[in-house]
Amino acid sequence: MVQAINGLTLHLAAREKLPPRRLGIIVPSSNTTMETEFNEMVPDGYTVHSARMRMRNVTAEELKRMDKDSLEAAVELSDAKVSAIGYGCTIAIMSREAGYDAVVRRRIERKVGIPTIISATAVLAAMKALGMRSVAIATPYTKELTKAEVDFVSKFGFEVSDYRELGIESNTEVGNLKDSVAAELVRELNYQNADGVLISCAQMPSARIIDDLESEIKKPVVSTNTATLWAMLQRLRVNDSIRGDGRILEKPPAYPIAAVPATSHVR
């Protein structure tokens, strides 16, 4: 009996010494996609943990209000001792002033001391790592927010060859879409003149169809969620191949990543 108890104690002690493999993501309260796709994509042995920022409709006003919740969400994730944090709302950053991604990243890292990836930064870094200079963009956003994203991407050296949007404000409505909607939106793009495609929005289901889309259009396809996961793993110096979710994860290009740089340094 004593030996069994001691054996259990030793076993638990050994487990506590293993490096944590917990990924934390901060998502809008109405997001139902990022957690699902992350759980389907992460390498064996990793777990995904989330905290939420209040947002129901994807408008500039609600995005700004939502962002104020990010620090509290980061503190909650720090209680779970996550190894890295991903800020999972691309348009909340891309719709703000230049350099705001770096402001958010520094604010979170100073508060909780955990490496943090901003999805907007991750998208740019992933496109750059895949050799994209021009991109066609598909979003579920309104015209106003999509134009803000196009302007943001253009400012950092990428030519936007074409873009399409669905014009949806309700975030839950976006999450209820089938993956095939993202695929059809990509097919409507003039991607022939682009180096690759970006499916933007952590809430727009798409990870399951990216592999097939890349085979169909013969170009790399990046989504907010595949780019964010890639960047988080790179930040943790994990280069595992993840099959079935696109080139960025299956043959992950190593990015010189003491951190994934802020957009102010992505050129």
Residue 163: which CATH number? 3.40.50.1860
Q: Are residues 143 and 109 in the same domain?
A: no
Q: Are residues 236 and 213 in the same domain?
A: no
Predicted pLDDT of residue 239: 82
CA distance 125 to 128: 5
Looking at 73, 84, 94, 201, which residue is catalytic?
201
Is residue 24 over pLDDT 80? yes
- Which ranges of 25-99 would DSSP assign to H, the alpha helix? 34-41, 60-67, 70-79, 90-94
Residue 86: which CATH number? 3.40.50.12500
Token pair for 230: 């890639």
φ/ψ (deg, to 5) at 254:
-70, 135
Asked whether residue 10 is domain-assigned, the answer is no
Q: Tell me which of 3 and 89 has the higher pLDDT.
A: 89
Asked whether residue 141 is domain-assigned, the answer is yes
Q: Are residues 32 and 116 in the same domain?
A: yes
How far apart, in Å, are the Cα atoms of 171 and each of 35, 93, 207?
Answer: 15, 16, 18
Q: Are residues 117 and 128 in the same domain?
A: no
Q: Are residues 73 and 96 in the same domain?
A: yes
**Please, are residues 102 and 135 in contact by the beta-carbon 8 Å criterion?**
no
Identify the burial level of 25 via C-beta atoms within 10 angstroms of its C-beta, where 0-12 means exposed, 13-18 middle and 19 or more buried.
buried
Q: Are residues 64 and 41 in the same domain?
A: yes
Q: Are residues 199 and 254 in the same domain?
A: no
Looking at 27, 66, 89, 236, which residue is catalytic?
89
Q: Are residues 93 and 29 in the same domain?
A: yes
Token pair for 250: 């299956």
Asked whether residue 109 is domain-assigned, the answer is yes
Asked whether residue 217 is domain-assigned, the answer is yes
Give the tens place of pLDDT for each residue, 205-222.
Answer: 999 999 999 999 999 999
> Could you tell me the residue range of the domain that residue 255 belongs to?
18-121+227-265
Q: Starting at the edge strand that comes first in sequence, how are the strands of the sheet with 22-28 ordered?
A: 47-53, 22-28, 84-87, 116-118
Asked whether residue 13 is domain-assigned, the answer is no
Q: How many domains does the chain have?
A: 2
Token pair for 135: 């991109």
Predicted pLDDT of residue 183: 98
Query: Can you state the percent helix, strand and coil of the chain, rounding each to 5?
Result: 50, 15, 35
Chain-wide mean pLDDT for the chain?
89
Mean pLDDT of 149-172: 97
Asked whether residue 2 is domain-assigned, the answer is no
Q: Are residues 137 and 177 in the same domain?
A: yes
Q: Are residues 135 and 198 in the same domain?
A: yes
Q: Are residues 115 and 160 in the same domain?
A: no
**239 is annotated as an active-site residue:** no
Give the tens place of pLDDT for each residue, 245-267.
Answer: 999 999 888 765 444 444 443 33
CA distance 95 to 32: 21
**201 is annotated as an active-site residue:** yes
Q: Are residues 56 and 98 in the same domain?
A: yes
The lowest-confidence range among 12-26, 36-50, 84-98 is 12-26
Q: Can you tell me whether residue 15 is helix, strand or coil? A: helix
Asked whether residue 12 is domain-assigned, the answer is no
Identify the burial level of 169 via C-beta atoms within 10 angstroms of its C-beta, where 0-12 means exposed, 13-18 middle and 19 or more buried.
middle
**Please, are residues 244 and 217 in contact by the beta-carbon 8 Å criterion?**
no
Is residue 56 over pLDDT 50? yes
Nearest Cα to 160, choosing from 197, 202, 187, 126?
A: 197
Asked whether residue 112 is domain-assigned, the answer is yes
